[in-house]
A and B are shown apart, each in its own frame.
Chain A
Amino acid sequence: METAYLIETVIKIVVILLVFSALAGIGTYFERKVLAFMQRRLGPMNVGPYGMLQFGADAIKLFTKEDIIPTNVVSPIFKIAPVITVSTAFIAAAAIPFLPSFTLFGYEVHPIIADINIGILYILGVMGIGLYGPLLGGMASANKFSLLSAARSAVVFISYEVVAGLSILAPIMLVGSLSLIDFNNYQIENGWIILSQPVAFLMFWIAAFAETGRTPFHLIANDHEIIDGFGTEYSGMRWGLFYIGEYANMFFISFVISLLFLGGFGDGSVIGAFLFLGKVAFFFFCFLWARAAWPDVRPDQLMWLCWKVLMPIAVINIIITGVVIMEG
């Protein structure tokens, strides 16, 4: 293994960690502002110009707050649960190409940490482990609401994963590869996959909402039903880690959706790269938009939706795609 490769990889890992931890913090600012404007409020206004330094204030508060471990909790599991959420989110990001490859000081940089040829499977699998965070945090907490939230996270897990897996199977059959780079290159020649697989796109998008636990399926930590769910007993930075994991996941799944269905970064030009970031920003905005516009569903409604509606549609979509590929 070359030394240059090693150094490059370490630098890429550090950059991605720093950028997305910061983005997760700034994401909360965006969320507050977007929600506020949709509800005819101003949102955070006092800290810094236009409230822009609010996330810094939040970070200082979270970092300096006392880390309380309540008496009856199973403390090793309780302590490790937020780490699972945040670390799996970032481990999953190892296979995401964030930008087209570019040349920096005569050295070609590929902004992907590991170009493994099973990128999508790896990302979905590792992101799925992220739900162990809420589950373990909830079960270790010795709190009724946390336990309810843990049960709900198991429900979310067994419902969304089937839909996510089956819905991307049809695009995978079209492309013939599991690598996100191959997906991108396929879409340069054949047009965006959303045009040939709109049903798969919609279903994967719905599954993404369930995967990140955002509002239509925010039942894991539904404030008005079960307080903060798994986060009820947490305080300080451990609670903050859950937050960073959730927002990092939202960004990463936005990258994945844009790469899978909306052409990714195209042929690698500068415009393509900016368009790619624009698509990612749009999907992130949709997460916030849905939170302002949609009510929450119940856990049984989520299971009904995933198993009785989306799964049959996904299977039919796969069969139709298979028949079309065989004919053509």
Chain B
Amino acid sequence: MFEAIAFYLFSFLTISMFYITVTTSQALYALTALAAGMIFISAFFFILGADFLGAVQIMVYSGAVMALYAFGMMFFDTTREVKEKQGNRFVIVGLSLVAAVLIVVIFAAPIVTDNITALYPITEGVGNTQDIGMVLFTKYLVPFEVAAVMLLVAMISGIILAGKKMDLSLTLMDEDEIKEMKKEEENKKVLL
């Protein structure tokens, strides 16, 4: 009974949070609702007994949305509403409905006739974490490693893009040095 109550409560909360994320024109509402929705999703993992995935969901998405907040802070005045360019509302609603139905059909159609069985049932007497580890390092080792390599690539490219003047620190420089640097930059612009 508690599982059913928790499931419907968190389904309602998650869907309403993501609805707010999509519909609001306030950047702060959208970000906060996104973070809340992501955290409420972890409840489903807990209900299903996948504690490890639930905790990871909380950790990963709370950090990820925090980075989004940082961008929001840089690009918007988050206390004001964003003026959105809105086209024909009916077209947008219709298209998104069709897209949603299509996605559900694409994923559900191949398995709708099959009896869904768990490919990797929980091993008795072993914790949740160990179970994930076993599957991750046997059957899904290659995707796991590929994901790791892709993350490494993303990290290195991020460092290269952001780290053009990493050895310069404005806080450690004198006033004169900063002025000199600015002059040099201006001279460069003239040359270009």
Contacts and interface: CB of A to CB of B under 8 A. Distances in A.
Nearest to B71: A154
B79 A157 contact: no
B29 A77 contact: yes
A117 interface: yes
A151 B128 contact: no
Nearest to A300: B171
Contact of A139 (B2, B28, B59, B171): B28
Contact of A128 (B59, B67, B129, B171): B59
A125 B28 CA distance: 22
Contact of B51 (A118, A124, A150, A157): A118
Interface string A107-118: 000000000111
A312 B73 CA distance: 30
B51 A126 contact: no
B58 A125 contact: yes
Interface in A22-69: none
A223 B52 CA distance: 39
A93 interface: no
A136 B1 CA distance: 35
Contact of A74 (B28, B52, B54, B128): B28
Which of B26, B56, B58, B169 is the most central at the interface, judged by chain A CB atoms within 10 Å of its CB? B58
Contacts of B28: 74, 77, 136, 139-140
A117 B32 contact: no
A63 B62 CA distance: 31
Contacts of A157: 63, 66
Contacts of B127: 117, 177
B76 to A, nearest CB: 10
B69 interface: yes
Contacts of B52: 118, 121, 178
Chain B contact surface mostly: helix
Contacts, number: 88
Given A117-B127, A142-B79, A298-B171, A132 B56 contact: no
A72 B79 CA distance: 8
Contact of B35 (A124, A132, A140): A132
A158 interface: yes
A72 B28 CA distance: 14
Interface in A74-92: 74, 76-77
A121 B32 CA distance: 23
Contacts of B129: 117-118, 177-178
Interface residues of B, number: 30
B69 A139 contact: yes
Contacts of B59: 121, 124-125, 128, 161, 165
A77 B67 CA distance: 18
A74 B73 CA distance: 14
Contacts of A121: 52, 55-56, 59
Contact of B62 (A128, A140, A177, A300): A128
Contacts of B58: 122, 125-126, 128-129
B78 interface: yes
A73 interface: yes
Contacts of A117: 51, 127-129
A135 interface: yes
A1 interface: yes
Interface in B16-30: 26, 28-29
Contacts of B55: 118, 121-122, 125
Contacts of A136: 28, 32
A132 B35 CA distance: 9
A139 B66 contact: no
A193 interface: no
A151 B78 contact: no
9 contacts: A76-B29, A117-B127, A121-B55, A125-B56, A125-B58, A128-B63, A132-B62, A140-B28, A150-B69
Interface of A: 1, 72-74, 76-77, 116-118, 121-122, 124-126, 128-129, 131-132, 135-136, 139-140, 142, 147, 150-151, 154, 157-158, 161, 165, 177-178, 298, 300
